[in-house]
Amino acid sequence: MAKATYKSSGVDLDVYEESMARLPRLLRRTHSPRVLPADGGFAGLFQLDFPGRLFARHYKEPVLVSGTDGVGTKLKVAQQAGTHHSVGIDLVAMCVNDVLCCGAEPLFFLDYVAMGKDDPQLLEAIVTGISDGCLESDMALVGGETAIMPDMYQPGDYDLAGFCVGVVEREKLLTGSTISPGDTILGVASSGLHSNGYSLVRKIVFEMAGREVNDFVDSCDATVGELLLRPTTIYARAVRSVLAHYKVKSVVHGIAHVTGGGLHDNLARILPAGIGGEIDRGSWPVPPVFTWLQQLGNVDADEMYRVFNMGVGLVLVVSTYYAESIQQQLANSGLASWPIGRAVEGNQEVVWA
């Protein structure tokens, strides 16, 4: 009888070592002096403060802010298209954009990659995207975990999870508690679908319409794969620039990341008691990918706005006096934005005006 080995069960440790050898450079390129050396260790090390002038923060009451997320069934599109870099960026974006809603500075990131079979090139492509997303967020990739799980996943399949930690001074923590009637609701542009609603997207595009990833969509001037794998916008530098620009406290009152549940549900999450929100539908340009999907699947408008971001990936609720100035700050960071509504007296509900 043949001897059982780990390799015969589906896990090749020699290939795993090759995979791991490709990753250290992708981590190191994201490191600042606040990351302490821990080569070969079991955890990543990050120094909260640092004496050097560039990285000194001099915290008084630092609050750690943490978030975790994945990429969802957008991964199935990546696997179908054979394009894996962009979902690594998505993984970072979905986590870091949540942490930004508290006004935090992103500090470090960890990833979890589960695969059916070890594939060094595939893993390198994914982690390259994660590393790129961390660089764009000014955040260190300090470690992660790669799990090879035959039978749980088929060869070529994989799943991703991300974990982000940031920090904010307690007095600058954003909770939405200072939102008041008359505040302006600014919508900040998304890059498209981001990483939500892909179970519906895949049903419409591949099952109902029978499209392929390389089919060209004239109305969007892109292939199906390009449209569906466009990375989620990372708002870290733009938001931190806005928050650092204004020295007075009462400027940005709340931030909401528009993910599953759309603009309606995610804005409602930050409204304090006694406050509601009014949104002017039609006050921003809806990207053509959403119109294409709606027509392709004959989807009701209410369903579209409930599932997708519809072109608004982040919401800032701000003092109306500073709204135009904040828009200019966002434009300087390369992001379009629009006044899309206002805070009103209400019961933590968002309605269409």
Residue 262, domain CATH:
3.90.650.10
pLDDT of residue 20: 87
Q: Is the residue at 318 inside a domain?
A: yes
Shared-domain flag, residues 166 and 215: no
Residue 147 has pLDDT above 80, yes or no: yes
Shared-domain flag, residues 237 and 105: no
The tens digit of pLDDT for each residue in 297-321 reads 999 999 999 999 999 999 999 999 9
How many domains does the chain contain in total?
2
Q: What SS3 state is found at 343?
A: strand
Q: Is the residue at 51 inside a domain?
A: no
Q: pLDDT tier at 62 (50, 70, 90 boundaries)?
A: very high
Shared-domain flag, residues 164 and 280: no
The tens digit of pLDDT for each residue in 229-273 reads 999 999 999 999 999 998 777 899 999 999 999 999 999 999 999
Q: What SS3 state is found at 89?
A: helix
From 137, 171, 205, give the residue that closes a domain.
171
Shared-domain flag, residues 284 and 317: yes
Shared-domain flag, residues 162 and 189: no
From 148, 171, 194, give the residue that closes a domain.
171
pLDDT of residue 42: 87
pLDDT of residue 155: 86
The encoded tokens of residue 322 equal: 């500073």
Strand residue runs (E) in the chain: 35-36, 45-46, 62-70, 105-115, 140-148, 158-169, 184-189, 216-217, 222-223, 252-257, 275-279, 312-318, 337-345, 350-352
- How far apart are alpha carbons 253 and 161 in whole angstroms? 30
Shared-domain flag, residues 107 and 195: no
Is pLDDT larger for residue 9 or for residue 76? Answer: 76
Shared-domain flag, residues 230 and 84: no
Residue 23 has pLDDT above 80, yes or no: yes
Contact residues for 52 (Cβ-Cβ < 8 A; gap 6+): 33
Q: Is the residue at 118 inside a domain?
A: yes
Strands 350-352 and 275-279: parallel
Shared-domain flag, residues 309 and 199: yes
Q: What is the mean pLDDT of residues 179-187?
A: 98
Q: pLDDT tier at 94 (50, 70, 90 boundaries)?
A: very high
Shared-domain flag, residues 164 and 238: no
Q: pLDDT tier at 17 (50, 70, 90 boundaries)?
A: confident
Q: Which one-letter DSSP state was computed for residue 347?
A: S
- How far apart are alpha carbons 302 and 283 in whole angstroms? 16
pLDDT of residue 209: 97
62 forms bridges with which residues in the sheet? 169
Q: Which one-letter DSSP state was computed for residue 153?
A: B
Q: pLDDT tier at 49 (50, 70, 90 boundaries)?
A: confident
Residue 69 has pLDDT above 80, yes or no: yes
| Cα within 13 Å of Cα(68), Cβ side | 6
pLDDT of residue 142: 96
The encoded tokens of residue 180 equal: 């008041």
Q: pLDDT tier at 327 (50, 70, 90 boundaries)?
A: very high
Identify the CATH number of the domain in which residue 21 sits: 3.30.1330.10
From 118, 144, 171, give the residue that closes a domain.
171
Q: What is the mean pLDDT of residues 54-72?
A: 93
Q: Is the residue at 46 inside a domain?
A: no
pLDDT of residue 51: 83
pLDDT of residue 37: 87
- What's the whole-model pTM score? 0.94
Residue 215 has pLDDT above 90, yes or no: yes
Q: What is the mean pLDDT of residues 203-210?
A: 98
Is pLDDT larger for residue 308 or for residue 18? Answer: 308
Q: Is the residue at 328 inside a domain?
A: yes
The tens digit of pLDDT for each residue in 286-296 reads 999 999 999 99
Instruction: Report which of 148, 79, 140 is spatially closest to residue 113, judged by C-alpha positions.
Output: 148
Q: pLDDT tier at 222 (50, 70, 90 boundaries)?
A: very high
Q: Is the residue at 114 inside a domain?
A: yes
Cβ pair 283, 340 in contact under 8 A = yes
Contact residues for 105 (Cβ-Cβ < 8 A; gap 6+): 166, 167, 168, 240
Residue 166 has pLDDT above 90, yes or no: yes
Calculate the alpha carbon distances from 343 to 24, 163, 264, 285, 353 in Å.
47, 32, 13, 21, 11
Residue 12 has pLDDT above 90, yes or no: no
- How far apart are alpha carbons 187 and 138 in whole angstroms? 23
Shared-domain flag, residues 277 and 341: yes
Shared-domain flag, residues 203 and 341: yes
Q: What is the mean pLDDT of residues 52-58?
A: 81
Shared-domain flag, residues 65 and 138: yes
Q: Which residue segment(s) compose the domain that 95 sits in?
A: 9-36+58-171
Q: Is the residue at 338 inside a domain?
A: yes
Contact residues for 90 (Cβ-Cβ < 8 A; gap 6+): 71, 74, 129, 133, 194, 195, 231, 232
Q: Is the residue at 267 inside a domain?
A: yes
pLDDT of residue 299: 97
- How far apart are alpha carbons 231 and 68 in whole angstroms? 18
Q: Quick one: what percent of the chain has pLDDT higher than 90? A: 84
Q: What SS3 state is found at 324?
A: helix
Q: What is the mean pLDDT of residues 320-343?
A: 97
Average pLDDT taken over every residue of the chain = 95
